[in-house]
């Protein structure tokens, strides 16, 4: 057998099911990029109208939309539609699988993972899961007993997935599209000589963080610090109207350039989403983490607590968040900057993508 035909035998077709928030979509994008580089074929299923629809297609991957109904944890009239939508989205997923004929299905969370994972179980297609959070989401808990491997990030997660084969790997980080020219802060109107505070509320932005940043802005400017500020879509035009012409402030709703901004950040003020935390580590950026209090089972708090224990971040609960506590936390990091930087730089490298792909190919007998 020549090399080409033997490689063709090793190629696999991978179908991803993910959606809802960037935190569920980007780990799948990361794996898809890597699988594709190795010559494999990939496809995505996501919710029609969900943020995955444009993110996945912007990344150049084939995308098929299904219509899914989220099952809310608390009573919500929309839950009445759930059984009907589950059946129809399951049939839609099965149809896509019959056409695409995947060797494996990978679900990285979000309610769209439910019907996609379920269809793969019914069709006996090997299912793999990735859970970025310390406390697993509903779909992960439901699907995990049927997955070949459930990949996790935190030690604690295993205790919630007792009937599953679990492998701890970390968060696969996507290669974000870079504007090749963003090589200096001057390109976004900032001064490379001055300190830069990066504010990001995760893929959807954070109103609580935005509001305290607005109040703290005069002090930030007085101290001659600069601000790269992601507001999220909600409230963006209001903040942009007020502050986009202010010297030392670069404001945006959502940007594919976030990875560039990490590179220029002296410190960051963020929620405690799993992907944001992994990106902060990869870019060695000390952070003030303000966990989203309504996150399922308070998982962002536990994420942030782990980071504080490692000496790479400060946990600032939202209930204590105000201009003074924020400025105190910034000062604490800036006054002990070497401590935080050294701890970040001593972390082991993130090899989650490679580890997951190796484990899946081995499990499929394609190594």
Ligand X SMILES: CC(=O)N[C@H]1[C@@H](OP(=O)(O)OP(=O)(O)OC[C@H]2O[C@@H](n3ccc(=O)[nH]c3=O)[C@H](O)[C@@H]2O)O[C@H](CO)[C@@H](O)[C@@H]1O
Binding site for ligand X (CB under 6 A): 21-24, 26, 109, 132-133, 200, 202-204, 230, 254-256, 258, 271, 273-276, 279, 292, 295, 300
* Structure tokens that stand for 102 in this block: 């995947």
Q: How far is the CB of 12 from ligand X (least distance, A)?
A: 25
Count CA within 13 A, CB hemisphere, residue 205. 18
Contact 363, 171 (CB under 8 A): no
Q: How far is the CB of 232 from ligand X (least distance, A)?
A: 8
Nearer to ligand X, 237 or 342 (CB): 237
Nearer to ligand X, 109 or 117 (CB): 109
Nearer to ligand X, 58 or 99 (CB): 58
Residue nearest to ligand X (CB): 23
Phi and psi at 90, nearest 5°, equal -65, -45
Cβ atoms < 10 Å from Cβ of 319: 6
Q: How far is the CB of 305 from ligand X (least distance, A)?
A: 13
Nearer to ligand X, 304 or 326 (CB): 304
Nearer to ligand X, 85 or 271 (CB): 271
Alpha helices in the chain (DSSP H): 3-10, 22-37, 51-58, 82-100, 113-122, 138-143, 207-222, 236-243, 258-264, 274-282, 299-309, 323-335, 337-345, 352-363
Q: How far is the CB of 106 from ligand X (least distance, A)?
A: 15
Strands 196-200 and 226-230: parallel
Nearer to ligand X, 17 or 202 (CB): 202
Q: How far is the CB of 251 from ligand X (least distance, A)?
A: 11
- Nearest by Cα to 225 from 199, 207, 202: 199
Q: How far is the CB of 198 from ligand X (least distance, A)?
A: 10
């Amino acid at each position: 057998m020549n090399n080409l035909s033997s490689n063709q035998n090793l190629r696999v077709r991978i179908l991803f099911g993910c959606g809802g928030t960037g935190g569920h979509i980007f780990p799948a994008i990361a794996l898809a990029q890597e699988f594709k580089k190795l010559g494999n074929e990939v496809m995505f299923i996501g919710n029609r109208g969900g943020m995955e629809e444009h993110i996945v297609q912007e990344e150049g991957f084939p995308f098929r939309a299904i219509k899914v109904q989220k099952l809310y944890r608390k009573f919500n009239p929309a839950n009445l539609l759930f059984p009907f939508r589950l059946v129809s989205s399951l049939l839609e997923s099965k149809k896509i699988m019959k056409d695409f004929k995947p060797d494996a299905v990978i679900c990285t969370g979000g309610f769209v993972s439910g019907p996609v994972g379920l269809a793969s179980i019914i069709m006996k297609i090997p299912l793999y899961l990735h859970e970025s959070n310390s406390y697993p989401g509903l779909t992960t808990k439901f699907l995990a007993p049927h997955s070949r491997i459930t990949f996790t990030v935190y030690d604690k997660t295993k205790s919630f997935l007792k009937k599953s084969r679990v492998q701890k790997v970390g968060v696969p980080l996507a290669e974000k599209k870079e504007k090749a020219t963003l090589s200096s802060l001057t390109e976004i109107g900032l001064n490379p000589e001055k300190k830069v505070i990066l504010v990001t509320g995760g893929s959807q932005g954070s109103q609580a963080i935005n509001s305290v940043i607005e109040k703290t802005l005069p002090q930030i400017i007085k101290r001659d610090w600069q601000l790269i500020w992601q507001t999220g879509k909600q409230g963006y035009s209001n903040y942009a109207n007020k502050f986009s012409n202010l010297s030392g402030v670069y404001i945006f709703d959502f940007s594919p350039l976030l990875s560039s901004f990490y590179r220029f950040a002296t410190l960051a003020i963020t929620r405690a989403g799993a992907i944001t935390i992994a990106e902060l580590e990869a870019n060695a950026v000390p952070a003030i983490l303000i966990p989203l209090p309504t996150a399922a089972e308070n998982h962002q708090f536990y994420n942030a607590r782990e980071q504080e224990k490692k000496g790479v971040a400060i946990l600032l609960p939202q209930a204590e968040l105000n201009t003074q506590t924020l400025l105190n936390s910034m000062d604490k990091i800036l006054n002990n900057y070497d401590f935080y930087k050294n701890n970040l730089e001593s972390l082991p490298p993130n090899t989650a993508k490679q580890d997951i792909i190796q484990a899946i190919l081995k499990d499929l007998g394609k190594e």
